[in-house]
A and B are shown apart, each in its own frame.
Chain A
Amino acid sequence: MSKKFLRRSALALAATATLLLAAPAIAQDAPKLQIGGTTYTKWLWGNQRHQGALYNFTTIPGEGYGDNGQGTELELLLNARLSSQVEVKGRIHSRFSQNFWTNFGGFGGNPNADCVAGNCGEFDPRSNQYIKLRGVAVVLTPGYLVDSATIGANDFGQFDPYVIGRIRYIDRDNAHGILLQGSGFDRKLTWDATRISLPRLWAGPSFSTGLFHASDAAYGFQTKWSLSDALDVGGIFTYVHDAELAPAAADHNVDNGRDLTPRFRNGVGGMKAGLRVSDKVDIRGALYHSYSNADPVLTTPGFNFDTGFSPSPVGRREDNSYRVDVTLSDPLDIGLSVNLQGFSIGADYVAIMAARRESDVLLTEGHDPSFAFPGPSNAAYGVFQNNLSKIGYGGWTSEAQQVATVNVDNEFTDFDEPFAETAIGWKGITVNPVYGNGNLDLSGEYSFITYDTNWQAFGDPTTSITNTPYPVAELDTGVGHNFRSAYQPFQDKRTHIAVLKARYVLDFAKGIDIFGKAKFIHESDKRMNDARFLPYQAGACPGGGQPCADQKNEYSPGLSTADTFGNPSVVTVGDQTGYQWKPFDSLSDDDRLLRYYAFTAGAGYQLSDDLYASVSYTKYLADLFDGNTALQGYNRHEMASGFHNKNSVVVRAKYILAGVEFGLEGQYAFGTFDPDFGSGFVPQVADEQTSLNHNVPEGSLGFRNRFTGWNSLETREFDHMRMKAFMKAQF
């Protein structure tokens, strides 16, 4: 297969080279070289006092994150228009990373330090003001055979976010490849064909393309045919081929070259159609089928139920996704339009090159990124020491966008940037009325979402939940939807989302924008809904200070959830003797019920042609039961059952002075969390060491979970302040 593709690529290259030589018009158009650039200076301040890097957030091991510091980036853009048919583009770009102003120019540093916070100084590229080559591409527009050929860096945004999404890692054109675009019939028929060199950082199982990466690629083709002004149809296909050198046992003779063996293959095909019934009615539909196959030897064969991180499930998977959109554009001529969407994204749908961020594949708002991680303060694994929240209590201040992959990427973002969450497994409908009249704009949403991942024991009760093909990431606990968590072992979940937004322009001076929003989420999840999956037999824990008996309940021969939800020890605290946590002996122990409200009110004003400012206040109220101490946040996360009362005040301003743009976003988030972890256990008292390890007052109440993590039972109060300001000039 790879030889075929190599041959095709060679042919495409040869054709392109021929075009270059044959292009007669080169001399007719004067060459032109443009040098431009951008300088971007950022000021971060926050009371979390992180200083790992000049980005608020990352989960990548070894990379820093922070909410304090000042730094400057510069990129120089070169754009040479050699003729009307040839353009060359490129950028030379320095990155913030850990280049703080306080580094004093990147001198010194400790080469043996952990290279975060600029500690390695000039010994690490991330803190020595390094320059990177970016965005080098040659764009050919020969005027025949193809419309354009782009060779080199590209964001590949012309494809489909369900299949090949706009690719951004840190920059928007980290990806490289060859893109040919053509058309026929007066551009009524268009096509795009590409070979993208497969990003070794993330485009394969376990965020890797293995040891042999240099010939790995994604191949894509899409076409669209506008049959008339009213009807267009299209198709898209992609194939990802990640190969490794064949092991010596399978390839004895290296004199004839070395064989390759597939590590990961992923094919996605899709069909799309759009029908413009009238000026008022548009219907669009898309159907996708995916196939993925991860070699069980060359990739991880399975994941533990609570620690799997990978952009795709293991093994051989096939599934479908579809989406139907109906747009009614003011059909009654009263200013009321309605958007409707039906959607389904299969649990096993895998498109490794699908958009990871900066695309929104669903109409629904989804969840709020103010609650992006399991813990009440957005900490992951917060029951263990040294796992403070990275993004902080305030979360992200944007709205969430949904992407059709678990390969979600919110890395290297600041709190004011767009936030993405996975929609793998989601299926449902969204109704979105939009009304406008005079100074008033209203819009609403109602969504009902159920899940293709509603299953027991990961959908296969014949296998252990501690060896699953599904990467669970942070699992699905907490107020929101942990952004890359699509899978959990037991799920029986439904979500209702209702939103009402209003905007009114007050006729005063230049017009004051008054805006408001109310949002409601009702989410229920029975999780385990069959008693055969309970970990122990009824009566294994008799209570009354008596220890539990080791009477495991097997849901299949030799398989029991007791390996995960072990019974508690008996502890004595003061005059109380009882279980360390509640034994998992009821199907209701892991139930989830969320009633979530968010209310926003704000105003914005264009103070002058140069300056716009807005201020908004949001009240979040979340009444959550997310399992009791038997589930204990899947043993690894802070429990979030209880009442969350969060407030957020956000100030935004933008000022333009002679082409230089200044921006500011400041947030003050404050609130409380009143835990309610149920009963059936004996609360423990934090000793001095617990206090030090878990940042809780000595003598406060909590309980120690199966992995010795600590969950506080005290009311928590949060104060989170932060600011991002920037200065940016493009020239």
Chain B
Amino acid sequence: MPLLRRSLLLLALGGVLTSACLSRGTRGATPLFTLADPRGDDHGDGDLRYPLRDDMPRGSLDLLLLVAYPEDNGTRFEATFARPIVNPQAGRTVDIAGETQAQRARFGFYTFNLDLYVDTDGVPGSGRTETLPGRNLTLAPGSAWEKVLLLTPRPYDARDQLRGQWLQAAREERQRQQGPLGEAAQQEVEAAVERELATRVFLPTRVRVTGATVEFFVPNDFFGGSPRPEWGYALAATGAFIENKVNLSSLFGKEGPQGLMVLPIAPGDSKERFGGGRLGDPSQSPVVDLMVPEGVTQEQVLAPNGPPWPAVVPAGSPAPSPSKSGE
């Protein structure tokens, strides 16, 4: 038994050291591009206030940096916030079934979502300008996105929800155009949505949280290669809503479309939503921090009747047309 004990300790030490030494190569890689954002602008339109929660102090959604590194078969993104990322607790149960916070959010974070909309062609009118549900933002026509990365605490559930919401929207649109849908038409709609989801949306599941940094991996299959600095990138941080809840009001059409795992904003202060929202503006964006290019401010984009959201081009020039890689 003493032999086993020594072996175990040596194995632990050896494993960590060996892996640490082996890792130097990839960690020293030159970034593909870097996006920087000012510190202290995690206030949405300027009036947004954090929920009255002790696990979401000011600065916790203040995005400072996004760096993309090339790796074998993909890209590793590193996003850094102003404060250490709050980890889900393994001991804290969150529902009557005894599920723990760490089980519900098993990728090491639970307080935020990161949306990265990527305009790969820079062609106005090409791609989508509407953001994911609940963000309540519109991208500028010249920044319409072809791809989106959504880093969220429950990626599989988020994909499932997004599929449902897109499907509902697509069915309604088709019904509006064609009237009642037969089975064949329904299957056609479903296939189209599934295709759209597969080609346009990626939800990382290889995620690692270290201090104030979260890194996530995106395979080259998604972008059709490495993401390029000439592309446009629109990055937004929102608060995450991780409860698995069916919104009955939304189902019965009494409210607008359900947000995609996003913590809403409302007037006043609350423990359950962001405060400082505008009265009479139910579609106000709950985005906490936003990356914008020079010449426009986050507060302007998030203001009522603000300009559409332009993407940032790290290389500093408009995106070349049209790469359409990976499509």
Report which A residues bind B (CB closer than 8 A).
25, 28-29, 34, 36, 38, 40, 42, 73, 75, 83-85, 87, 139, 141, 143, 147-148, 157-158, 166, 168, 171-172, 181, 187, 226, 229, 279-280, 282, 327, 329-330, 332-337, 357-360, 398-399, 401, 413-414, 416-418, 420, 433-442, 444, 446, 498, 500, 502, 505, 507, 510-511, 518, 520, 522, 595, 597, 606, 609-610, 612, 623, 656, 658-659, 661, 663, 726, 728-731
Contact = CB atoms under 8 A, between A and B. Distances in A.
A387 B265 CA distance: 55
B8 A442 contact: no
Nearest to A157: B54
Interface stretch (B125-133, B228-236, B267-275): B267-275
Interface of B: 1, 4-5, 8-9, 11-12, 15-16, 19-24, 26-27, 49-50, 52, 54, 57-59, 71, 73, 80, 82, 84, 89-93, 95-100, 156-157, 159-160, 163-164, 205-206, 208, 210-213, 243-249, 266-271, 275, 279
B96 A73 contact: yes
Given A436-B210, A442-B19, A656-B157, A36 B91 contact: no
A33 to B, nearest CB: 10
A327 B211 contact: yes
B248 A148 contact: no
Contact of A436 (B58, B208, B245): B208
B160 A610 contact: yes
Nearest to B53: A158
A24 B244 CA distance: 36
Nearest to A355: B91
Contact of B24 (A36, A334, A416, A606): A334
29 contacts: A25-B267, A29-B267, A148-B269, A187-B50, A329-B213, A333-B27, A334-B20, A334-B24, A335-B23, A359-B91, A398-B90, A401-B90, A418-B100, A435-B23, A437-B22, A438-B23, A440-B19, A441-B208, A442-B15, A511-B205, A518-B12, A522-B5, A597-B4, A606-B205, A656-B160, A656-B244, A658-B164, A728-B95, A731-B246
Contacts of A505: 206
Contacts of B89: 358-360
Contacts of A606: 156, 205
A433 B157 CA distance: 31
B290 to A, nearest CB: 21
Given A181-B52, A229-B82, A329-B212, A433 B16 contact: yes
A661 B5 CA distance: 42
A334 B29 CA distance: 12
Nearest to B1: A595
Given A158-B54, A444-B12, A417 B93 contact: yes
Contacts of B23: 334-335, 435, 437-438
A659 B211 contact: no
B16 A336 contact: yes
Contacts of B160: 609-610, 656
Contact of B210 (A337, A500, A522, A658): A337
A148 to B, nearest CB: 5
A91 B218 CA distance: 43
A500 B84 contact: no
Contacts of A444: 12, 16
A511 B269 CA distance: 41
A663 B103 CA distance: 12
Contacts of A139: 270-271
B210 A329 contact: yes
Given A84-B279, A148-B271, A334 B16 contact: no
A420 B91 contact: yes
A168 B205 CA distance: 32
B241 to A, nearest CB: 12
A500 B11 contact: yes
A181 B54 CA distance: 11
5 closest cross-chain pairs (CB), A and B:
A329-B211, A84-B268, A659-B246, A401-B91, A84-B267
Given A282-B84, A359-B92, A436-B208, A442 B213 contact: no
Q: Of B57, B92, B249, which is in contact with the most chain A CB atoms at under 10 Å from its CB? A: B92
Nearest to A222: B54
Nearest to B106: A612
Contact of B97 (A25, A327, A440, A728): A728
Given A141-B269, A442-B19, A656-B160, A34 B249 contact: yes
A172 to B, nearest CB: 8
Contacts of B1: 595, 623
A330 B210 contact: yes
Nearest to A161: B91
B211 A337 contact: yes
Nearest to B268: A84
A523 to B, nearest CB: 13
Contacts of B245: 36, 659, 730-731
Contacts of A420: 91
B269 A435 contact: no
Given A83-B268, A416-B98, A658-B246, 8 more contacts: A36-B248, A73-B96, A85-B268, A434-B210, A500-B15, A511-B206, A609-B163, A730-B243
Contacts of B212: 279, 329
Nearest to B96: A40
Nearest to A420: B91
A414 B96 CA distance: 11
B285 to A, nearest CB: 18
Given A595-B1, A656-B157, A502 B26 contact: no
A359 B101 CA distance: 11
A280 B211 contact: yes
Nearest to A727: B97
Q: Of B243, B244, B268, which is in contact with the most chain A CB atoms at under 10 Å from its CB? A: B268
B98 A414 contact: yes
A360 B249 CA distance: 37
B91 A358 contact: yes
Contacts of B163: 609
Nearest to A279: B212
A421 to B, nearest CB: 11
Nearest to B28: A333
A500 B90 CA distance: 17
Contacts of B208: 436, 441
Contacts of A437: 19-20, 22-23, 26-27
B95 A38 contact: yes
Nearest to A186: B58
B268 A143 contact: yes
Contacts of B159: 609
Contacts of B54: 157-158
B12 A500 contact: yes
B158 to A, nearest CB: 9
B279 A730 contact: no
Contacts of A85: 268
A336 B13 CA distance: 12
A424 to B, nearest CB: 17
Contacts of A143: 268-269
B210 A38 contact: no
B269 A147 contact: yes
Nearest to B11: A500
Contacts of B20: 332, 334-336, 435, 437
B97 A438 contact: no
Q: Of B19, B98, B205, B269, which is in contact with the most chain A CB atoms at under 10 Å from its CB? A: B98
A172 B96 CA distance: 9
A75 B268 contact: no
Contacts of A171: 96
Nearest to A500: B12
Contact of A399 (B58, B90, B96): B90
B32 to A, nearest CB: 17
A279 B211 contact: yes
Contacts of B4: 520, 597
Nearest to A726: B97
Contacts of B164: 658
A625 to B, nearest CB: 13
Nearest to B159: A609
